[in-house]
Structure 1
């Protein structure tokens, strides 16, 4: 992944300068590293289409969320990548973009083992973030396929409400450029969780949901050519580790931020974060 900025791209250069100045004066976020963080700032600028206030809000939310959940985000590495490359992995990132240049990820809910183990939360929040840092995901966005077909009712009933809240907070702040969510065979007992989720995120994101009954209907909503055969595609190539390594470099820069908890009280933002224990 390349995040180099063209000297001719005046909008990028001007936006980066504004972002650096805003961060230098920030009341509770301070960067403690010595390395260049332009690639990190550019991620938020691209995802927010260079809307500065939206980029600031998303940046604050992401730093605070990651720092408040250290077990989910510390020491990313090959083991997190390997999880997505096992046969029938619950979470799979495809190598090829679709016809619109968007990255595609598949969640197979039937293969999820444990909804409350720390490794599950790492896979739900940290591993996808490495995927979202990919340049194609930043520019063209992400398409999710959430496959509930053959999901165990017993397992799905154990989904924590906090997990739903956290996931849709990410959607609300558009930490990724989420273009489409195609849900296959969502069971009726999961509907109350979805109704709760609708209250926690923006109507813009909700409008990007497509609910379908069968995998065969997926082609009506997206380009399936790059998907595995079971979803009507012709390929089963998965994103290689190089993209994850670039994401790991960016995530490790986030870990070098300090969050001053005492000053958060002075900042007008979502009240729930004022209760978080942040180092």
Structure 2
């Protein structure tokens, strides 16, 4: 389902490679004080006039697959820092409301990641309603883990600036982080492409669900007989 979002996760794909090289999305090398992997996204570094939502989604999917093999991250979870500076109306129009619903459903129910905290900063006034709608679709647990900040200075009151790129008060330039990410993605290229060879037998799942329902119903009748 939705192959344009989750398949062909090729670090050498020209469009995806350009988005990664621009620094739109990058896992930070330093973890936070609780040991969580931090993922930074910079909306202003994604050109909505050149790339569509499918390219954006594939970029995210590729980073997710890269991080899922970190046992420490699976245990301690992830923190997301989303800088919306430079966001334009074309960014908002990339996604239909239906696509937003589907994507957030995937993030909550299909992606095996522990999303411990999500920060949004520098949201322009015309993007507020969009993010309000998106957050309204989250579970109560995830809603409680979302924080909004007006400025980068406000953000650093909650996120240690030393783990962020130099542009945000840290010590390592964002460019260096991007180059390291590109190397790691290339090392994992064959594994990422091999994901397309995996498949799920939906018929078998439906059959298994039906069998479980039958056994569950039978068990209920047995319980009634005993009662």
Q: Give me the TM-score of the superposition, normalised by structure 2.
A: 0.71
- The question of whether the paired residues in 2 share the 8 Å contact of 1:130 and 1:247 is answered with no
- The question of whether the paired residues in 2 share the 8 Å contact of 1:98 and 1:224 is answered with no
Of 128-137 and 199-208, the range deviating more from structure 2: 128-137
- The question of whether the paired residues in 1 share the 8 Å contact of 2:74 and 2:113 is answered with yes
1:143 maps to 79
2:152 maps to 215
Q: Structure 2 residue aligned with 1:112, among 46, 50, 70?
A: 46
RMSD between aligned residues: 3.1
Q: Secondary structure at the match of 2:81?
A: strand
Tell me how far 1:83 sits from its aligned partner: 4.8
1:234 maps to 171
Output the CA distance in 1 between the equivalents of 2:155 and 2:28: 16
Q: Structure 2 residue aligned with 1:96, among 16, 24, 30?
A: 30
1:187 maps to 124
1:63 maps to none
1:78 maps to 11
Asked whether 1:249 is paired with 2:191, we answer: yes
Output the CA distance in 2 between the equivalents of 1:96 and 1:141: 14
Output the CA distance in 1 between the equivalents of 2:43 and 2:100: 14
Change (3 A) 1:188 1:218: same
- The question of whether the paired residues in 1 share the 8 Å contact of 2:41 and 2:82 is answered with yes
- The question of whether the paired residues in 2 share the 8 Å contact of 1:131 and 1:247 is answered with no
Change (3 A) 1:124 1:76: closer
Aligned residues: 200
Output the CA distance in 2 between the equivalents of 1:123 and 1:229: 23
Tell me how far 1:209 sits from its aligned partner: 0.9
2:2 maps to 69
Tell me how far 1:250 sits from its aligned partner: 7.6
1:14 maps to none
More helix by share: 2
Q: Secondary structure at the match of 1:225?
A: helix
- The question of whether the paired residues in 2 share the 8 Å contact of 1:98 and 1:225 is answered with no
Q: Secondary structure at the match of 1:122?
A: helix
Output the CA distance in 1 between the equivalents of 2:38 and 2:149: 17
Output the CA distance in 2 between the equivalents of 1:182 and 1:96: 17
1:175 maps to 112
Tell me how far 1:93 sits from its aligned partner: 1.7
**Alignment gaps of 5+ in structure 2:** 211-227
Output the CA distance in 2 between the equivalents of 1:244 and 1:133: 15
Output the CA distance in 2 between the equivalents of 1:189 and 1:160: 16
Q: Secondary structure at the match of 2:116?
A: strand
Q: Give me the TM-score of the superposition, normalised by structure 1.
A: 0.60
1:160 maps to 96
Output the CA distance in 2 between the equivalents of 1:96 and 1:243: 18
Tell me how far 1:217 sits from its aligned partner: 1.7
Deviations 1:183-212, CA, capped at 9 Å, x for gaps: 002223223333332342211111111111
